[in-house]
Amino acid sequence: MVEIKNIGIWIRVSTDMQVKDESPEHHEKRARQYTELKGWNVVEVYRLDAVSGKAVMHHPETQRMLKDIRSGRIQGLVFSKLARLARSTKELLEFADIFRKEEAHLISLAEQIDTSSAAGRLFFTIISAMAEWEREEISSRVAASVSVRAKLGKSLGGQPTFGYKWEGNEFRIDEKEAPVRRLLYQIFIKHQRKKTTADVLNKLGHRTRNGAEFSDTTVHRLLRDATAKGERRANYTKSTGDNKQWTIKPQEEWVVLECPAIIDAETWNKCNQILDEQEAKRTKLGRKSEYLLTGLVNCICGTKMYVRSTAKNFDCKSCKNRIAVSDLDEIYQENLKGYLTNINPITYVTEAEAELREKQQLYSLTNAKRSALYKQMTDLVPLRLNGELSQEHFATMYKPLELQVEQLDESLPALLAEIDFRTIQLASSDVVLTEAKALYEQWANMQFEQKRAIVETITEEITIDKRDITITLAYLPSFTKGQTSPHDFMDS
C-alpha cells in the first residue's frame, strides 16, 4: 500500500429527511478533523445527497471518485461508517477489491476499519455482511407490518385518493373535494369520454389536489378507484425498486376495507361498465342504431347479441341463443310501461332534494375556492410593487391563479342557474311525475331517434336466457334524464 498523502471524503445520505436531520456538513467536518490529525490533505469531497445505498456503484459521483483513485489523485477515502459507503455486501466487497488493486485505503471512522491490514480486510468483510443483513431484516419487518396495518385500516403512507383525507387514523371523506369527485362520475356518464370529462371539469374551474388540471389519465384512475363506492383497497401494490415503479400484488394479498362512499355502487358500476366496453372495443359509441335495443342485449353466457341476418333475430354467436326483434321490443315496452307508471313520488322527491343540496354545497365550496384564489392574487400585487417579486416570477405565480378564477367565475353562474332550475323542478315535481307517467302513452307517436335516446338513458342491461328475459332499468333520477342540466352536462 502506498503512503496516504491526499485523501477524499465520501458523504452519502439516503433520503431528503436524512439530508435534513443527519447533516452532510456534520459528516464532512468529522472527516476533516480526522484527516488533520493524520496529517493527510483533503483534495476532494464526493457527495451523494438523497441517494439509496442499495446500488451506488454506477452513480456519476462514484465513478468520479473511482477515476481519482485509479489516476492516483487520491490514495484513500474516508467515510463516517460503512452504511454511508454502501449497504450491499456485493458493492462493499467490490469497493474493497478496487481499492486493494489500486493500493488505496478505505477508512471507516465508526467501525475503525483500515483495509491496509489483513485483519482490517477480514473485519471489513464481516461488517459488510452484517450491514446487508440488517437492511434485509428492516425490509422484512416493514413488509410484514404493512399487511397488519392495512388490515387494521391504518394509513400505509402516501396521500389518500382525491375526495378523501386521513384524520389521525380515521379515513374520512374530504368535504371540499368530494363534490368534485362526485361530479366527475356524473359528467362521465353523460359524455362517456375521459378527455371530455377532464375538459369540462377544468372549464368549470376545478383542479386536482396539487392544483394541476384534470387529465384523461387522472379521470380514468379516479373512475376505476373503488374507494368512491366504499371499497378501499390496501396492500395491493409494491415497489420494484427500479425507477420507483410499482406493480400489482397477487389478489390474495390485497386488503379490502369498508370506507365512507362518495357515490352509490350503481353509479360506479355503470361508469366502469362503460370503460370495460370501450377497452374491449365491443361497442362503438356514437354508432347509429338500426334497432331499438341494439348494443343492450346480452346472452346469459355473457356474449353480446346482435341482429346478424335478415331474419331479424338477436343472435348469440357462442351458444346460438336467439330471440326475435319484434318479440323483444314488445316485451321491453310492457316493462317500460310498468317502469314509468310505478315511480315512487316519495323516493323521487327525496332524491331531488338530495341532488339540490349537493349542488348547493358544490356552489358554496366553489365560491369559497374562488375567494381564496382571489386573495392569493391580491396578496401578490404588493410584493410586485415593492420589488420583492420580479416581473417574470410574478407572472409565473399570478397567471395560473388568474386563469382558475376566470374559470370559476364562468362556472358559478351556471351552478346558480342549476340550483334555480332544480328548485323550480322540485316545486313542480307533481307535473314532472305526471309527464313521466304519460310518456308511455305517447310512445307509439314518438320518432325512432327519440325512443332510442330514452332507451339508452334508462336501460342498464337486457339478458336473454333460454326461457327467461331479464330487463334491468335504471331508476329515473329527478332531473338528469330527459332534461339537460346547465352544469353537469355542459358541452366541452
94 and 194 assigned to the same domain: no
> Where is mean pLDDT largest: 19-23, 159-163, 277-281, 429-433?
159-163
Cα–Cα distances (Å) from 114 to 77, 79, 99, in that order, read 10, 11, 11
pLDDT tens column, 124-138: 555 555 555 555 555
CA 421 to chain centre: 34
Domain of 71, in residue numbers: 6-147
pLDDT of the residue at 419: 76
Q: Which of 2-16, 85-99, 369-383 has the highest mean pLDDT?
A: 369-383
First-to-last CA distance in the chain?
74
367 pLDDT above the threshold of 50: yes
What is the structure's pLDDT at 262? 92
Q: pLDDT digits over 166-211, tens only?
A: 887 788 899 999 999 999 999 999 999 999 999 999 999 999 988 8
Query: Does residue 429 sit within a domain?
Result: no
Same domain, 100 and 197: no
Domain match, 141 and 216 both: no
C-alpha cell at 295: 348494443
List beta partners, residue 323.
314
- Model confidence at 491, pLDDT cuts 50, 70, 90, reads very low
Least confident of 206-215, 410-419, 477-486: 477-486
Q: Does one domain contain both 244 and 170? A: yes
Distance of CA 48 to the CA centre of its chain: 31
Domain end among 239, 263, 280: 280
Quote the mean pLDDT of the chain. Answer: 76
458 in a domain, yes or no? yes
The verdict on 17 and 138 lying in the same domain is: yes
Q: What's the number of CA atoms in the CB half-sphere (13 Å) around residue 379?
A: 8
Task: Give the pLDDT band (50/70/90) at residue 46.
Answer: very high
Asked if residue 230 and residue 135 are part of one domain, the reply reads no
Pairs from 370-375 (Cβ < 8 Å, separation ≥ 24): 370/205, 370/405, 370/408, 370/409, 370/412, 373/401, 373/404, 373/405, 373/408, 374/405
Structural domain ending residue among the three candidates 147, 173, 191: 147
- Identify whether residues 336 and 266 lie together within a single domain: no
- What is the C-alpha separation between 249 and 239, in angstroms, rounded? 10
- pLDDT of residue 379 exceeding 80: yes
What is residue 446's three-state secondary structure? coil
Specify the number of domains making up the chain.
3
Q: Which helix (H) or strand (E) holds 202?
A: helix 194-203
- Is 301 contained in some domain? yes
Give residue 116's pLDDT.
Answer: 58
**pLDDT number for residue 486:** 32
Instruction: Determine the pLDDT at residue 214.
Output: 93
What CATH number is given to the structural domain containing 79? 3.40.50.1390
Sign of dihedral through CA atoms 302, 304, 309, 313? positive
